[in-house]
Each structure stands twice: as structure tokens, then as C-alpha cells.
Amino acid sequence: MFFAAAIAILVALGLALVRAVLGPTVYDRILAVNAVGTKIVLLIAVIGFLTGRPEFLDLSLVYALINFISTLAVLKFFKFGHLGHPGAENEETGK
């Protein structure tokens, strides 16, 4: 059962990778990379249960948090052009 789930996740991972390469906009590509990260989290958890090592679930949860935070950071960078505070350029000039 877990082996079939791993195969299905690999197929979905391949489709998400195709979308990441062929995405028409930057936002489509970013969301596809986020989907790839989510599929990898699922794959790590399934492989952990296939091999009898449930501590892989902890690793997959940490990877999920890193994936979420990095997606937010990249989206903020593409929207605002920087990762600092919204008024950071005004504080430097004193305006």
C-alpha cells in the first residue's frame, strides 16, 4: 500500500516539475516549486514508513516548515523587490 502511494507521489512530483519548468509566469513556477516541496515531504514520510523508520516523519515536518517559509520569502521578494521592512528605504534617507 505504501509502495503504491510512493509511486503515485513520484508521478505527481514529475508533473509538478514539468509545471515548474514550463510555467507561464514567475508565480506559477514558484507555486509549482512549492508543490514539489510538498510532494517531497510526503515522499519522505512514506519512505520512512516503508523502511520502518518513523523518525523520518520529524524530518519531513522540518522540511515542510522550511518549504513554507522559503515560499513566503520568495513571493515577498518578487512582489516588493526586497526582503526588508516596507519602509526601510525611507528610514535610510530620513524621509
Residue-wise pLDDT for 26-64, tens only, equals 889 999 999 999 999 999 999 999 999 989 999 999 999
In the chain, domain spans:
7-83
pLDDT of 43: 93
Query: In b/e form, how buried is each residue of 38-77, taking b as 16+ CB within 10 angstroms?
Result: bbbbbbbbbebeeeeeeebeeebeebbeebeeebeebeee
State percent of the chain over pLDDT 70. Answer: 89
